[in-house]
Amino acid sequence: MTTRPVIGIPAVFTTAQWGFWHEHAHLVADTYLAAVWEAGGLPIIVPPLGGGDPDAMDQVLERVDGLLLVGGADLDPLEYGEHPHELLEETSHVRDSYEIPLVRRAIERDVPLLGVCRGLQVMNVAGGGTLHQDLVHAGFSDHRPAPGHLDHTTFHETRVAEGTALAGIVRADTLQTNSHHHQGVATVAPGATVAARATSDGCVEALEWPANRFTVGVQWHPEKPRMTAFFSALVEAASQRRTDA
């Protein structure tokens, strides 16, 4: 039997209710878990425990073959040296204090990494970049046209840069992507390159780190509707890393 590469997915820390219980919980939506499993990976939920302790980060990265960063709350602008804007929405100190140092270490160690929506923003901040705290205020068009939806009502055209890893994944110059974010990449992190922009307003839609094996972040949600090629690329890179270890 072929051993599936382990894909760690840092969880969302929230309060949830099930049965008789109403407790703090560490959650990952099934859409992400199913996408990894269907691509041949073994998804493992990683709770954001231990803060930014380097030893804890390394122990996680030694036990996984790749990472998938999921969507969620705004990043605290203090993480990239700015004061909160009045249009800033809910943030999660628990996630920020865990995911940012984890991703910084993952990039340094060349652990295969796919970031989705907030995940892209975490990657950019971890690498030393900044964010627009509200895209409309920054002069971009509305990138969250239908809150709570990821279907055709949110689709827009995205142009892919030639010669990028992203172009190799999607095998197209343009594609339709869904949109559910009000923040976006401002200053691009050193070492990263812009792999895609929204055709309508030039908003950064994808980043990648060319020096790494597979370090790609997209602003859209390839888990729903499923864009299988992204998860297959992550799992393939993670499998290769395991073989090379």
Residues acting as catalytic residues: 117, 221, 223
**What residues form DSSP beta bridges with 25?**
14
Which string of DSSP letters, residue by residue, matches the chain?
-PPPPEEEEEPEEEEEEETTEEEEEEE--HHHHHHHHHTT-EEEEE---STT-HHHHHHHHHH-SEEEE---SBPPGGGGT-PPPTT---B-HHHHHHHHHHHHHHHHTT--EEEETHHHHHHHHHTT--EES-TTTTT---S-SSTT--SGGG-EEEEEPTTSHHHHHH-SSEEEE----S-EESSPPTT-EEEEEETTT--EEEEE-TTSSSEEEESS-TBTTB-HHHHHHHHHHHHHHHHH-
Question: Can you read off the two tokens belonging to residue 80?
Answer: 């990239």
Inter-helix orientation angle 228-244/30-38, to 10°: 60
